[in-house]
Amino acid sequence: MKIINNPSKKDWNRILERPTKTVDDIEGTVNEVFLEVQKDGDKAIEKYTQKFDGVSVKDNLVSENEITEAISLVSDELKEAIKVAHKNITVFHKAQKTEKVSVETTNGVSCWQEKRPIQKVGLYIPGGTAPLFSTVLMLAIPAQIAGCKEIVLCSPPNKEGKIHPAILFTANLCGVTKIIKVGGIQAVAGLTFGTEAIPQVYKIFGPGNQFVTVAKQLATKYGVAIDMPAGPSELLVVADDSANASYVASDLLSQAEHGADSQVILVSTSKDLISKVDKEIQKQILDLPRKETAQKAIDNSKSIFVESDEIALDLINEYGPEHFIICTNNNDFYIDNIENAGSVFIGNYTPESAGDYASGTNHTLPTNGFSKAYSGVNLDSFTKSITFQKISKEGILNIGSSIELMAEAEGLQAHKNAVSIRLKDLKN
The type of residue at 64 is E
- Which residues, including other chains, have CB under 8 Å from residue 319's CB and lie 6 or more apart? 12, 16, 236, 265, 340, 369
Residue 322 bears catalytic tag = yes
Three-state secondary structure readout of 125-160: CCCCCCCCHHHHHHHHHHHHHHCCCEEEEEECCCCC
Flag whether 340 is marked binding. Answer: no
Flag whether 356 is marked binding. Answer: yes
Cα 79 to its chain centre, rounded Å, is 24
Q: Are 223 and 257 in contact (CB under 8 A)?
A: no
Flag whether 233 is marked binding. Answer: yes
Beta sheet of 120-124, edge-to-edge order: 178-181, 150-155, 120-124, 203-205, 225-226
CA distance to 128, 144, 227, 361, 408, per residue, from 203 (Å)? 23, 14, 7, 21, 39
**How far, in Å, CA of 10 to CA of 6, rounded?**
12
Of 139, 151, 131, the C-alpha closest to 73 is: 131
**How far, in Å, CA of 169 to CA of 241, rounded?**
43
What number of helices (H) and strands (E) belong to the chain? 17, 14
Q: Is 402 exposed, middle or buried (0-12, 13-18, 19+ CB in 10 A)?
A: exposed
Q: Are 412 and 404 in contact (CB under 8 A)?
A: no
Question: At 222, is the secondary structure helix, strand, or coil?
Answer: helix
Flag whether 209 is marked binding. Answer: yes
**How far, in Å, CA of 163 to CA of 160, rounded?**
9
The H-or-E segment that residue 264 falls in is strand 263-268
Residue 93 bears catalytic tag = no
Flag whether 410 is marked binding. Answer: yes
The active-site residue, picked from 257, 322, 352, 363, is 322
The active-site residue, picked from 86, 164, 323, 363, is 323
Flag whether 363 is marked binding. Answer: no
Nearest 5°: the CA angle 16, 139, 141 is 140
**How far, in Å, CA of 203 to CA of 209, rounded?**
18
Flag whether 323 is marked binding. Answer: yes
**How far, in Å, CA of 257 to CA of 45, rounded?**
29
Residues tagged in the binding site annotation for Zn(2+): 255, 258, 356, 415
Residues tagged in the binding site annotation for NAD(+): 124, 186, 209
Q: Which residues are catalytic?
A: 322-323
Residues tagged in the binding site annotation for substrate: 233, 255, 258, 323, 356, 410, 415
